[in-house]
Structure 1
Amino acid sequence: MKNIIYNKSKFIILEGLDGSGKTHACQLIKKILEKYKIPHIVIREPGGTPLAEKIRNLIKNFYTYEIINQKTILLLVYASRMQLIQNIIAPALKNNIWVISDRYELSSFAYQGGGFKIKKELIIFLKKIIVKSYLPDLTIYLDIIPKYALHRMIKRGKLDTIENNNINFFQRTRNTYLHLISKNKNSLTINANLKIDIVHQDIKNKLKKWLRTCKIYGTRG
């Protein structure tokens, strides 16, 4: 295979409800970038650094500690995101390393804004302070209906704090995702309700087509 030459790094995000298959999709994209010999890293949100992983554990298991306000969770998510951007994402992109992330700031609008009904003005304010110019070049949204997502979550085992919400919560979250993605020109939507091999083939096809638009100098042997 000829190597395609790129003159800058890219930031690719996987978004969707829990149970939509984001983690497996990240590994699929990793393999594709490896075939193109593109240097890259795979991260997840919340998490990705030692401190951010501790914050992730608090968010997903806070019911074992005390009752917590949803705005507190939002602030914890953005604290984790700040660590990830400053310590991992920014240095990687600066050094021409592509970044694949399992979730990013769109999750805050969908889950905290849509699911938990926190006013979007607060989330926009935090985004302006913390995310700044570190925006994705491509967002791949795995769309799945809530009842299928919940079935997959239950099949995986014990539900965490976020996964333990009712179907109405996930419907609000999905509706918010759909609204945001419809306005995002740098996004691809994947039907994640189908069998995994069909989903992955769709991701491959659409991602490879997008990669061709990133081609800068042609090919070399």
Structure 2
Amino acid sequence: MTPGKFITLEGGEGVGKTTNLDFIVSRLRDRGLEVVATREPGGTVFGEAVREIFLHHAEVRPEAELLLLFAARVHHLREVVEPALQRGAWVVCDRFTDASYAYQGAGRGIDRSVIDFLRDWIQAGLRPDLTLLLDAPVDTGLTRARQRSGPDRLEREDIAFFARVREGYLALAQAEPGRIRVIDAARPLAVVQAAIASQLDLLLSGRV
């Protein structure tokens, strides 16, 4: 059986990950593929419990944030992602380890080597086949995010934090241009989705 493909969607707050994840899933299913849509933190009973703590607990220290995310990632990989890929399904995930580098690394200041160690230990070489980084100016994204609902613990951070997160994401994309494709998410939705569709077509054709 041919292993499936692993696609991740990354970006700061309010860049449209949920809307575009639905678009990606629909487009892939139209091709007759089995698609598993999931998210981090989350995707399992344990992961969703971690998500609740992560987003709504009054105070979570940076080191605890990172460890919580990787604890949830263990369950997510073993229970959802790996079994799906092994049976030939495509997995589309809202955030993955790049978010740990951007938020806990660039945003919180945790040393990259710590995240490298956890990634290598937990993922054992597993990497996304394609990462779509939805990028928009910080103020644009935060305005969108704060219009849709009351802010969670993370969304209450100051603009300087989110600027560091964005810089962290863009640095990752510069370091891995073959895997991480930057999509300008400040443009109209139809234009954004046309760019996403183009990247999906490349992956489907084996050119990514």
**1:65-144 equivalence runs, <5 A:** 67-144=59-136
> Unaligned 5+ residue runs, structure 1?
1-5, 216-221
- Aligned equivalent of 2:149: 157
Which segments of structure 1 move beyond 3 Å, counting only runs of 4 or more?
A: none
How far, CA to CA, are the matches of 1:141 and 1:118 in structure 2? 21
TM-score, normalised with respect to structure 2: 0.95
Q: Which has the larger Rg?
A: 1
Please say if 1:199 is aligned against 2:180. Answer: no
Aligned residue type for 1:50: V
Letter paired with 1:200: Q
The question of whether the paired residues in 1 share the 8 Å contact of 2:54 and 2:60 is answered with no
Asked if residue 45 in structure 1 is aligned to residue 37 in structure 2, the reply is no
Percent identity of paired positions between Structure 1 and Structure 2: 33
- Which residue is 1:3 aligned to? none
Is contact 2:62-2:104 (8 Å) kept? yes
Q: Distance in 1 between matches of 2:56 and 2:162?
A: 18
SS of 1:163 mapped into structure 2: helix
Matched, 1:8 2:10: no
1:188 offset after TM fit, Å?
A: 1.6
1:40 and 1:150 mapped to 2: Cα distance? 30
Equivalenced residue count is 207
Separation in 2, partners of 1:179, 1:112:
14
Shift of 1:128: 1.2
- The alignment's TM-score, normalised by the length of structure 1, stands at 0.90
Structure 2 residue 176 is the aligned partner of structure 1 residue 181: no
- Give the AA of the match of 2:155: E
Distance 2:90 2:147 in 1: 33
* CA–CA distance in structure 2, aligned partners of residues 62 and 121 of structure 1: 27
